[in-house]
Structure 1
Amino acid sequence: MTAHLSRRSLLGLAGAGAGALLLGACGDDKAEDPNAPQTINWWHIQNTEPMLPVWAAMAKEYEAAHSNVKVTVQPLENEAFKAKLTTATQAGSPPDLFQSWGGGVLKQQVDAGLVKDLTDDVKPWIGNLLPASVQPFTIDGKIYGVPFDIGMVGFWYNKDLFAKAGVTAAPKTWTELLTAVGRIKAAGVVPIALAGKEKWPGHYYWAYLAMRIGGLGALQQAAKDHNFDTPDFVAAGQRLKELVDLKPFQKGFLGAGYGTPDGQAATMGNGGAAMELMGQWAPAVEASSSTSKKGLGDKLGFFPFPAVDGGKGSVAEAFGGGNGFAVGKDAPAATVDFLKTLLEVGNQRKAAATGAVLPTVKDAVDGIKDPNNKTVAETLASATGFQLYLDQAYPPAVGQQVNDSVAELIAGSKTPEQIVKDISTVAKSQ
């Protein structure tokens, strides 16, 4: 997914527990002949337009310039990637270059000795990247991944459908959002598109509400104490239940995927819902999933997740993360050089021009063409704090339980009080 301008005041990420014993240099350190034939096995999740052909072209260009290197590209859908990577890592054989969001998942891979320490390799050029973007990939002062994209989650909305419902301004508080949902529904429009089947989109609501109610400190304390059974997290569930009780989602949302022809992005891109809570990639996926392949164009707007009355969190605190790549322990020598090529300013501008990526290379920020992406970048630039996706910030089992529990709350099978107990039980077992 999980894409933005300088974030100078980012706070520490939850779940990045200090003091864990890290394995030393990972993988095989034997000297390799740089001219020997090498195959780079590259897994990424940009499996649709517009980035799918862009990555493919960059791989071909690299092969053309390096006759001894072959790049085998395996594009995978987000959830399929996670499942396949879990199988590969459990077997101790990660791909050479693969998608990473950093945080707790990457830390677990580091602790298991599955990824390379890139600190020395990237030292000559990592300074070209926005420092905030590198943070989730930095563990105990060492760099284990490189981000190509950094962004935040917020509400994307259809200006025409808002106007039809008489909603004239973007909601600034949770109460205003619920009022807008009621008006939109009364106008015969689906208020919100949601991929209920995939679970991760739903966790955005609970995570943001926990941030707005408890502040970033609540999320960081929960990671430290392995305890989510606190009033702030219960209140986040209660506020989310207020939304769910309004029945704001499209018909069949519990079985809907994200990027499928009848999924969340397509529902938005085809004008079937007034808004979705999603990351910076939303406009591009809406367009590629829509029947017109153009999406909403200038009808699409963006606003940050609203404040909660009486909450300790600020609307200036952002939730999101970056897409990046980690390098497997047995990757051939050319892998890091290929990664460097992907992060060259020209290639970052190409990625930015698609609208699907907000670049991490400082000099490529001028490649952002989409007005909404510029808005996201500016919003993130002024953020006073930042929280990584919970299903990445926390250890994988905890992140999965957050996704599962929030899905149960949205489906009506568990209460706000029950889900915090379930998440805490898993957190305490880690």
Structure 2
Amino acid sequence: MTAHLSRRTLLGLVGAGAGAYLLSACSDDESGDPDGPQTINWWHIQNTEPMLPVWAAMAQEYQGAHSNVTVKIQPLENEAFKAKLTTATQAGDPPDLFQSWGGGVLRQQVDAGLVKDLTDDVRPWIGGLLPAALQPFTIDERIYGVPFDVGMVGFWYNKDLFARAGITAMPTSWAGVLDVVRKLKAAGIVPIALAGKDKWPGHFYWAYLAMRIGGLGALQQAAKDKNFDTPDFVAAGERLKELVDLQPFQKGFLGAEYGSPDGQAATIGNGGAAMELMGQWAPSVQASSSTSKKGLGDKLGFFPFPAVDGGKGSAAEVFGGGNGFAVGKDAPAATVDFLKSLLTADSQRRAAKTGAVLPTVKEAAPAISDPNSKIVAENLANATGFQLYLDQAYPPAVGQQVNDSVAELIAGNKSPAQVVKDVTQVAKSQ
């Protein structure tokens, strides 16, 4: 996989606006002595197979090689993590090592003095990482987090259900997506699984449509002007409403979570819906959430979010981001060294082999074995532009309002015009 060659061109394109969740957990460096006893409190969201045991094994190995260091791991579900992190950071007490998506969220943590500047510590080895993956973690040319995974959001689909509905070609336009939905419904198949309760999965649709209609520049200009009340953003809502009006989602979707046993990922993994719009982690969460714990296997396919007819954006512009870690302000001395151990080529190969991680270390790229992960990596490699998730790229309040207002549109409670007015109002208040 030669994704790093093309991804380098994305370095200046990643849309890292400004937004943030805050965090908390006591640092426990009993001595202040680098060789004295140290406890690293580590929070992450890989709380299921296949990465949960991989992280645990890496922590055990590090402890075995450093008798003075204890790593206390707290795996948390995505939404639970965000809530706990908010409480922690508002108390000014972040964990020592914690999940981060970079962007505006990280910027606020930086501005609040909650995270360490890692630039000098990581300089000897950070050159081995994909530059585009680092972009969301770079604030004012300083590095405040290290990504272990990078990828994009796209459509994951059940090949058998598509075949049953007579769908032989993947859609290359938004109109084509709507046609696919109609064909699936006509065949008695639920077209799309959606975690309506969690809200963030819904914002993927609106954000991608805004990108396709207005281009990346529209998203960046809106953040700069604090104005989303423009024809392109209204049109994105109107295109999304076209989908919503077809009633494509599974029964009870408004109360569905993403990773719960009856949630979005499980609905796909159990064959209860034909497709979902989700990031590179989708296959592993589908599998771990499914009844069989295996998911769809080779029945699962992937296609990128298509163009919108007449839009200014290209289908080669991708929306997504990566997972990484930031280091809390009071973290013990061993924390950065432990983080380095997670980002060695060997550690990244182990993570990549699970199929749940698209590695950021260039040397580990050949370890991607999952066919769908390879497809995602190829799409990412050919991308001409990159936009970070809006609920991470923009200031936290703005990102949350995007999620909330789009959820209201999907529920039928807000118009496309109301969505952009709500988001603009919050943006101007920041």
**1:218 & 1:94 partners in 2: Cα distance?**
34
Residue 103 of structure 2 is matched in structure 1 by: 103
Secondary structure in 1 matching 2:205:
helix
Q: Deviations over 1:90-140 (max 9, x none)?
A: 110000000000000000000010000000000000001011100000000
Amino acid across the alignment from 2:17: A
Question: Per the alignment, in what secondary structure is the counterpart of residue 227 of structure 1?
Answer: coil
- Asked if the contact 2:14/2:385 (under 8 Å) is kept, the reply is no
Deviation at 1:13, TM superposition (A): 3.7
SS at match of 2:9: coil
Report the counterpart of residue 16 of structure 1 in structure 2.
Answer: 17
Which whole-Å deviations, capped at 9, do the CAs of 1:348-373 have from their partners, x for residues lacking one?
Answer: 01100111100000010111110000
**TM superposition shift of 1:153:** 0.2
* Equivalent residue runs for 1:106-117 within 5 Å: 106-117=106-117
Distance 2:366 2:262 in 1: 34
Structure 1 equivalent of residue 21 of structure 2: none
Structure 2: gaps of 5 or more residues = 19-26
Q: Say whether 1:210 aligns with 2:227.
A: no
Amino acid of the residue matched to residue 257 of structure 1?
A: E
Q: Report how far residue 32 of structure 1 moved.
A: 4.0
Aligned pair 1:303/2:303, yes or no?
yes
Aligned residues: 417
Task: Give the drift of 1:376.
Answer: 0.2
CA distance in structure 1 between the aligned counterparts of 2:37 and 2:65, rounded to whole angstroms? 13
Residue matched to 1:20? none
Asked whether 1:343 is paired with 2:352, we answer no
1:141 maps to 2:141: yes
Secondary structure, counterpart of 2:3 in structure 1: coil
Contact preservation (8 Å) 2:40, 2:96: yes
Counterpart of 1:24? none
Distance 2:279 2:123 in 1: 29
Map of 1:41 onto structure 2? 41
CA shift digits 1:243-281 (9 cap, x unpaired) = 000000000000001110000000000111110000000
Answer whether contact 1:41 1:95 (CA < 8 A) is retained: yes
Shift of 1:9: 2.3
The answer on whether the counterparts of 1:193 and 1:267 sit within 8 Å (CA) in structure 2 is: yes
CA offset at residue 33 of structure 1? 2.0
In 2, Cα distance between equivalents of 1:168 and 1:347 = 39
Query: CA separation in 2, counterparts of 1:94 and 1:157?
Result: 38
Which segments of structure 1 move beyond 6 Å, counting only runs of 4 or more?
A: none
Match status 1:175 vs 2:175: yes
Q: CA RMSD in A?
A: 1.5
Write the deviation string for residues 49-88 of structure 1: whole angstroms up to 9, x where unpaired. Answer: 1111111111111111100000000000111111111111
Alignment of 1:17-96 (within 5 A): 32-96=32-96
C-alpha distance in 2 between matches for 1:284 and 1:15: 27
Cα distance in 1, alignment partners of residues 402 and 222 from structure 2: 12
CA distance in 2: counterparts of 1:154 and 1:392, whole angstroms? 18
TM-score (norm 1): 0.95
Report the identity percentage. Answer: 81
The residue identity in structure 2 corresponding to 1:278 is M
Alignment of structure 1 residues 271-420 onto 2, 5 Å: 271-420=271-420
**Distance in 2 (alpha carbons) for counterparts of 1:409 and 1:244:** 9
2:3 maps to a residue whose letter is L
State how far apart, in whole Å, the 1-side matches of 2:167 and 2:232 are. Answer: 30
Query: Which runs of 5 or more residues in structure 1 are unaligned?
Result: 18-26
CA distance in 2 between partners of 1:158 and 1:198 (Å): 23
**Equivalent position amino acid for 1:74 in 2:** Q
Report the CA distance between 1:15 and its aligned residue: 5.0
Asked if 2 retains the 8 angstrom alpha-carbon contact of 1:14 and 1:394, the reply is no
In the aligned structure 2, how far is the partner of 1:320 from the partner of 1:14? 10
Distance 2:9 2:175 in 1: 28
CA distance in 1, matches of 2:72, 2:32: 20
Give 1:151 deviation, angstroms: 0.3
TM-score (norm 2): 0.95
